[in-house]
Amino acid sequence: MNKTIDQKLYSLVQISQQKLLTILERIVGFKDLIIDDCLMKPLERIVGASKLRSKGIDKMYKLNSDNLPLTNPERVFLINANLKTVKQVCDRINSELSSEIIHNLEKSHQ
């Protein structure tokens, strides 16, 4: 059976959607999705916000937003695999961990 290009593309979208939703299911509880700007449109083509919410995505933020008001302890980063973006995510995580350690130390000395 010869599949048309549209059928092949639809199958690719379905496979991508299922893989993403399976990953999100494995992360227990509510989570924030922080997404690279360049991936917003492709994500919309693969999966809608309602399906993301059904898998625990509570809030969605653009990666380049300053002062993300993160609401959940669980965070999922969906980023483009380039060194600059990976470093940006690592720096953000590192600063959050540092501030959490300082906060816990201050609490324990009160």
Does 85 fall in a domain? no
Contact in structure between 65 and 38 (CB atoms under 8 Å) = no
Three-state secondary structure call for residue 100: helix
Alpha-carbon distance values, 22 to 17, 18, 27, 94, 104 (Å): 9, 6, 9, 27, 34
Does 18 fall in a domain? yes
Does 91 fall in a domain? no
Put simply, whether the predicted model's pTM sits higher than 0.85 gets the answer no
Q: How many domains does the chain have?
A: 1
Contact in structure between 89 and 77 (CB atoms under 8 Å) = yes
The pLDDT value recorded for residue 92 is 84
Does 107 fall in a domain? no
Look up the domain containing 11 and give its range: 5-80
Does 57 fall in a domain? yes
Does 43 fall in a domain? yes
Mean of pLDDT over the chain: 86
Closest CA to 78 of 54, 97, 53, 60: 60
Indicate the DSSP class of residue 109.
T
In this prediction, residue 53 has a pLDDT band, given cuts at 50, 70 and 90, of very high
What are the backbone dihedrals phi and psi of residue 31, each rounded to the nearest 5 degrees, phi first? -145, 155
Does 95 fall in a domain? no
Q: What is the distance between the alpha carbons of residues 110 and 74, in angstroms, rounded to a whole number?
A: 28
